Structure 1
Amino acid sequence: MLLLCILFAFGSSRSYGIQQRKHSFQPPTLNDLLDSILRLMDFFSKKFDVVNVDGIFGVRLAQGEMMRALDKGNMGEYSPAIFTAEVRRKIEKIQNLAELTSTLALPVIKNRDNKYYTMFYPTIEKPWRPFELRSKRLKKMDEKYVPTLIHVEDALFNETSSDECMGSLIGTAGKRCDVNKCWDMMTKTGVTLYYTTHQLLYFQLGLQAGCQTQFEQKMSNIGGLEDILHGLCYNIVYQMETMFKQGKVNYLFQDIFLEDGAVCGSIGIRDALNVKWLEEVMTWQDRRTGCFKEAFNDAGDWYAEEYLFGKDLEKTRLQWRKRKLLYDVEMGDSCSAHKSGVAAGFLAVHIRLFLEKDVVNYHLDRFDQQSGDREFVAEQTSAAYYFLLIIAAIAIGVILTRRPKRSGLLRAVFRV
């Protein structure tokens, strides 16, 4: 029996070690998230005179999410235990700061770049509340939506052409709802990074502009509008998972990672919301200013760089940096207007992780299934382990009891 006790003690210590490691992850709370958004909105409100259109679009997206949360909360769709008076107060404050920032920034942006302001005024004149999908869970899609190894021209998506395509929908760059102008470009499959997110934004903007009929007529032979939006987000979430493959996102992809989560999360895609992604993103926020900074160095080696950019990394990195410097605005202290804007959207859509019953249940089911599988394996492994220990102990006891009398002491240990 002494030997059995020793073996069981050893087995128990191993099991306890597994249990200890299991609960090491400490996710952010809803109040942590709201405080993070408040710091970012406070930053924008103080820097309204240097923000650009992209930054204000992110502010408007966050404002739309706060309005949506307040509407649903007022209709009693959230649990009172979660949607407390303090949570409501913080959401209202975020909404008010977003409105104040936008009101102050719009005249400044117009004076600085009237052409760009005029082209995209319909996207920033009011809170951004996009069309939401009826089915919010991604399904296994056709392989055509999964990106292949990217070509440099896809990584360096032509933003000028994209701007013209957006303008052709809202009537600021040609006839309103002209879906023919950029159809091939905006329905091309297997692309990645900003190309994919701008495709999704193209359809979101068209729906906001009232172009649904034109879209559906054009899509008659390629599936419905929701099928295309699901396919784009399937692609986008696939890319996000690739970027997060090592448990963190390389600085080179932080901006696009934020944009990915914001655009798919805002139309209700549950798979674009992830508490571990949220925890990672919240570590990027500058504690002093509340902004999201941009770094332009080439240090580091990472799986997703090779996957997304192929072998010619150095050439692509240099071109990628030029793209960022051309379309971003530094708001002081290395704070990025674009990155801070998409971060506002990313953080805002993640309040759904805490408030929306269907989102919470979906992720709990996924977590339970994953942890359940791990627990089942651990339990089966533990049971098998103990079974082997018992068999080994019995075998040793039998062997020892059959040995000559000089082993009498050991025989006595196993005597019943």
Structure 2
Amino acid sequence: MNFVTATRFFAVFAILSVTVSHEEVIDDILSNLAKGALFLEIEHQNINLDGVVGYLILQAEFKEAIRTWPHTDPVSWAQRTSAVALVRRLDQSLEKAVSALAENDPKYYREFQPLLTWTFWGVPHEWSSTDASLAYYSTRAMECYDEQLSDKCMTLLLGTWKNNGTPCIVTKSCRDTMTRFGCPHYSLSHQLLYFMIGSMKGCSNMLKGDMRASRANLTEQDYQRIFCSNMMKSNQDIIKNGFTGQSQDIFIENILLCGLAGFSDFYKPDWLKHILSFQDQEMGCFGKDERVTSQIIEEELLVALQPQLRVKRREKTLRDGCSSHMTGVAVGALGGYLNFYLTEQDITKRPLS
């Protein structure tokens, strides 16, 4: 075997090894997503809006995966068949979940109705990477994100701020809040989500009216890169310091949103292992906390005895202790991994030398 032949042989062997490895990873992802789909089937009446949106993003990712699946061998074809079956199950469960949202919280449903279809969510076809040099020198200790203002800014983009409202409206307070640098955690991810929703809604000139000279040359895409570069640093810090409190949820949300924005360096194999380890293998959900289960039962009993004490909460810890929000973002993140690995697995897109 001469040098050129040997080089080609080892190149092909390396690609095939990667392919086999990716097929095994795809098997793991599909298995865990099947458990997540079963959880939705059981709990569709109780999943909150954030959780349903995560499942809808997963549905968009599944539809794209099936359309482009590189079914060139029996294993890959079998995996695609499993994905098709999962999509059919999700179609039925999501229809029921969206109907339940409309019934349980009609105002919130109306305001975010455009997000409640898988066709709204665009799946990336091109990839880029974050830039560590864009990380903030320091971040605020407290969130700079107000949920009411954020919701209002989103509805102004969606045109749901009133009946038959004009979409793509950007007020000064919204622009200032959504472009503020140094924000941590959920503020940061909601800033990114704001620009992603604007892009998917087709809003142009979201930065029109910004008179700051230092921001004159920044585009919507620049802001997304800045935010994801800082979300990358946030995830790296979480890995370094260990998962505590809400850090699991933030960690996965960053992967979901920045992966959906096309930043492939969020799809790290080690991070996938962390996500899979967070799933309750029996329930199929994420963020399960056994300690809160008895507390939830006590709260429900108290509400039944004294209905006037009922408190409405957007985020729901379900009766079995599962987190509605974390389950939604986790299945959406796993769908992102699926599409990314399928792209990597398709050796027809790779040069052999």
TM over 0.5: yes
The partner residue of 1:58 within 54, 57, 65 is 54
* 1:67 and 2:63 aligned: yes
Secondary structure (helix, strand or coil) at the match of 1:51 reads coil
Partners of 1:237 and 1:39 lie apart in 2 by: 28
- What percent identity do the matched residue pairs reach? 25
1:162-220 deviation per Cα after TM superposition (whole angstroms, max 9, x unaligned): 11110010011154111224000000112111111111111111122220x22264578
Q: Is the 8 A contact 2:289 2:322 kept in 1?
A: no
Partners of 1:79 and 1:192 lie apart in 2 by: 42
The partner residue of 1:335 within 322, 337, 340 is 322
Cα drift, residue 251 of structure 1: 4.4
Q: 1:81 to 1:268 in 2, by over 3 A?
A: farther
Deviating beyond 6 angstroms after TM superposition, the runs of 4 or more aligned structure 1 residues are none
Q: CA-atom RMSD, angstroms?
A: 2.8
Q: 1:358 to 1:217 in 2, by over 3 A?
A: farther
Larger RCO (alpha carbons 8 Å, 6+ apart): 2
Counterpart mapping for 1:11-410 below 5 A: 29-73=25-69, 78=70, 80-81=72-73, 84-130=76-122, 132=124, 134=126, 136-142=128-134, 145-146=135-136, 148-154=138-144, 157-173=145-161, 175-181=166-172, 182-211=174-203, 213-215=204-206, 217=208, 221-246=216-241, 248-295=242-289, 326-357=313-344
Cα drift, residue 68 of structure 1: 1.3
Partners of 2:31 and 2:287 lie apart in 1 by: 18
Q: 1:116 to 1:237 in 2, by over 3 A?
A: same
The TM-score, its normalising length taken from structure 1, stands at 0.66
1:36-94 deviation per Cα after TM superposition (whole angstroms, max 9, x unaligned): 01100111011111111111100000001111111222xxxx37259711110122123
Amino acid at match of 2:316: V
1:299-331 deviation per Cα after TM superposition (whole angstroms, max 9, x unaligned): xxxxxxxxxxxxxxxxxxxxxxxxxx9431122
Cα drift, residue 267 of structure 1: 2.0
Cα drift, residue 337 of structure 1: 0.8
For structure 2, the 5+ residue unaligned runs are: 1-20, 292-311, 348-353
1:110-167 deviation per Cα after TM superposition (whole angstroms, max 9, x unaligned): 111111000001001334523648551223444xx4262432243xx32121111100
Partners of 1:214 and 1:171 lie apart in 2 by: 16
The TM-score, its normalising length taken from structure 2, stands at 0.77
Structure showing greater Rg: 1
Determine the structure 2 residue equivalent to 1:378: none
Q: 1:153 to 1:240 in 2, by over 3 A?
A: closer
For structure 1, the 5+ residue unaligned runs are: 1-25, 298-324, 361-416
Amino acid at match of 1:232: F
